[in-house]
Amino acid sequence: MGSSGLRVSELGLGTMTWGRDTDEIDAAEQVRDFLDAGGTLIDTAASYADGDAERVIGTLLSGKVARHEVVLATKAGIRSESRPDGGSGRVVDASRGALLDSLDESLLRMGTDHVDLFLVACPDPHTSLEETCNALRIAVTSGRARYVGLSNHPGWATARVATLLEPDIGLAAVELEYSLLQRGVERDVLPAADALGVGLLAWSPLGRGVLTGKYRRAIPADSRAAGALAGFVQPYLEGSAPAVVEAVATAAEGLGRAAGEVAIAWLLEREGIASAIVGARTPAQLRSSLEAATLELPYEVHAALDDVSAPEIGYPERW
């Protein structure tokens, strides 16, 4: 993981669906397949299914999976809060108290005394980076976390936090969305992380599912993405996205592999990637993603995918 001593597998197992769309039986099968394939990194968050994803992990760690077999990462800084109308909403809070309370609750749910990687889920405009760093420092010095990182933060914040933490605990990782359909990290986060020795964890390497080819220009009415996930997926069906998806599908057909495998294999070959986080609702979906680790793209295919998905780079990066 960057210049730290933390070692992670090139594919990480995401758990966003656990406790909601993926039950404990399927989760256990996913973990066993993942470990058998050489995987170690399991990525979760306190906010996934309002903590139920971590509870599923806790159940697995209590009997089916040995703690030393996995590198456990969790995120804090987003919580649910009741509204006056009786509903609930998401609140961003990366204050010292919120982060440490969330970490303690995560450890309790997972039945472990430490996580290997503790990340701040997203930027908090109301809390200074100095205070957030103080919480990360306490997490490490107290033994509750071995390494720390950021998620969904811009390059300048990554550089600032890395500088603040450099004298003692250091910043090990940044976790951001990165795929053929989302290459924005290449503008500033990836260069900053590389210069500072920070490893990049890439979430949603399948472009929110679009790069599997199951969605093209529209979301099928009978798809799960037609409901609550519609706003999450639809932007990746617009603009230049269809051309990228078609290029991936063409490459997959020529190589005799699944489109999703090609998309993940492209990402694994990018500079600076410590691990690509693959999530799956079912064990079968995960097994397909794991096959990507066995695929080495021909230079011509990789270059063609680079070209068709190239992001717009402007000032000041191109001067």
pLDDT band at 218 (very low <50, low <70, confident <90, very high): low
Among the ranges given (80-89, 249-258, 264-273, 283-292), the one the predictor scored with the smallest mean pLDDT? 80-89
Residue 315 is among the residues annotated as catalytic for this protein: no
Residue 221 pLDDT > 60, yes or no? no
- Residue 100 φ then ψ, to 5°: -70, -35
pLDDT score of 222: 52
pLDDT score of 16: 95
- 100-129 pLDDT, tens per residue? 999 999 999 999 999 999 999 999 999 999
CA dist 12 and 55 (Å) reads 19
For tokens 């057909």, the residue is: 253
Residue 226 pLDDT > 50, yes or no? no
Residue 225 pLDDT > 90, yes or no? no
CA dist 72 and 21 (Å) reads 21
Q: Estimate to the nearest angstrom the gap between the alpha carbon of 94 and the chain centroid.
A: 18
Residue 166 pLDDT > 50, yes or no? yes
Name the token pair of 254: 């020529």
14 pairs with which residues across the strands?
A: 43, 279
Please state, rounded to an integer, the average pLDDT across all residues of the chain: 92
Of 315 and 308, the structure prediction assigns the larger pLDDT to: 308
Of 282 and 222, the structure prediction assigns the larger pLDDT to: 282
pLDDT band at 315 (very low <50, low <70, confident <90, very high): confident
**Hey, is 211 helix, strand or coil?**
helix
Share of the chain above pLDDT 70, in %: 92
Residue 229 pLDDT > 80, yes or no? no
- 30-71 pLDDT, tens per residue? 999 999 999 999 999 999 999 999 999 999 999 989 999 999
Of 260 and 312, the structure prediction assigns the larger pLDDT to: 260
Strands 173-177 and 199-203, by their bridges, are parallel
Nearest by Cα to 267 from 206, 194, 198, 188: 206
Residue 271: exposed, middle, or buried by beta-carbon count in 10 A (0-12, 13-18, 19+)? exposed
Mean of pLDDT values over 132-156: 98
Residue 109: exposed, middle, or buried by beta-carbon count in 10 A (0-12, 13-18, 19+)? buried
Are 268 and 293 contacting, i.e. CB atoms less than 8 angstroms apart?
yes
pLDDT score of 217: 55
Candidates 48, 178, 215, 236; catalytic one: 48
CB proximity list for 255: less than 8 A, separation 6 or greater = 262, 295, 297, 298, 301
pLDDT score of 79: 85
Mean of pLDDT values over 89-107: 95
Mean of pLDDT values over 71-82: 90
